[in-house]
Amino acid sequence: MNLVTRDQKHLWHPLTQHKISPEALPIVKAKGSILYGEDGKEYIDGIASWYTAMYGHCNEYITGKVAAQMQNLDQVVFSGFTHEPAVKLSEQLIKILPENQQKLFFNDNGSTATEIGIKMALQYHHNQGNNRNIMLAFEEGFHGDTFGAMSVSGLSVYNGAFKDHFIEVLRIPVPLGENNAEVISQLKKLISVNNIAGFIYEPLVQGAAAMKMHNAAGLDEILKICKDNDIVCVADEVMTGFGKTGKYFASDYLKNKPDVMCLSKALTAGLLPMGLTTCSQKVYDAFYDNDISKGLFHGHTYSANPPACTAAIAGIELLVSEEIQQQIKSVIKSHQAFDERIKDHSKVTNRRQLGVIYAFDLNVKMERYGNLRNQLFKHFMDNGVFLRPLGNTIYILAPFTISQIELDKIYSVIEELLNKI
């Protein structure tokens, strides 16, 4: 039996209604920006496999470091123990994080990273005897699929069956520039009549909401007001982190820095699963006490897994290298040139770019999931390009290491779609 037939016997895939999408595409190998199918076809990975493999698949520098680590220390409990890869990662990461970040808490993935960020915000106030139990979030945000993360997420397509079980959340619109005053006014009113513990947000780019981008000045003002009111600011940089926005983190565009940051995806360069929740000394100090119950009693079996930490260290070493920084600049320029080519096309609207993230909307009415979206996906895959439309939004978030030839292929396949849709 081939992989498809064997897959269908037992496997349940994420974000899939199997009755109408019965087959998964078998991938047998990945290298650089290319995914290799079981049938011999090649696909350019235009979204870096959900924004993880930013230095290319099976990067030999990263795999070599991890292979060596696996011969020395594979796994050890992180409660009561420590090890060199975890300590070194903390030292390397602190160098590139916003300067107020001081402590790192290991977890498993993006959803648990935000889950812990939410718990930090709520328990920060609980430990001080403050009656604050409400979270604030942006409309249309997405922060993961565990219960706290779902609670603060605003995309109901993911959360409908679970709404009665959520923590209490208030929402404000994202600041777009022209609406900043209205957003700030709404924020101040909510703060005045509610016991808000924390504000969780995707800084500048809302990934799952179809790469919607918002105004840095407006977000900065929101953060300042929250900080003035001792509301813990939790930046979900799971998608935006590690160079994708043109800076190490989207928070680097802002004067007011988050109290807590949530990291995953490109953290380990797509090689191994891991998440991190970092925080300021002020947040950490609210948990530092002789009373054991004031500790953050959250743990994962694979917290600070040594090979995963090693992958993250290697990824950071690449990220800060001159070679990768130049490749990021090259991709940014290529996107800008492509944008110039398609900006006047009748089917193109709402073009947007931040760093290597490029997106636009099709001037066509369609559902987020449906036949037309599936036709778009099929067009890309039939032409050897893996892009995953979010409703009528087409976006590119390829590895930093993608070649110009591969980028040009992505652009040409998009243009073919525009001319036939």
Binding residues for pyridoxal 5'-phosphate: 110-111, 236, 300-301
SS3 29: strand
Which tokens in the block code for residue 212?
Answer: 């919607």
Question: Which residues contribute to the annotated binding site?
Answer: 50, 110-111, 236, 265, 299-301, 388
* Apex 97 CA angle, 95 and 98, nearest 5: 115
The CA distance from 355 to 332, in Å, is 6
Contact 113, 262 (CB under 8 A): yes
Determine the distance from the C-alpha atom of residue 57 to the mean position of all C-alpha atoms in its chain, rounded to a whole number: 18
Please give the single-letter amino acid code of residue 272.
L
* Residue with tokens 């500048």, as numbered in its chain: 204
Residue 346, token pair as written in the block: 């009748």
Residues within the annotated binding site for substrate? 50, 265, 299, 388
**What is the rounded distance in angstroms from the CA atom of residue 223 to the CA atom of residue 232?**
9
Angle between helices 84-96 and 306-319 (to 10 degrees): 30
Maximum pairwise Cα distance, the chain: 67
Q: Which are the contacts of 81, defined by CB distance < 8 A and separation ≥ 6?
A: none
- Dihedral of CA 320/256/266/91: which sign? positive
- Residue 44 Ramachandran class (φ > 0 left, ψ -120 to 50 alpha, else beta): beta
- AA letter at 186: Q
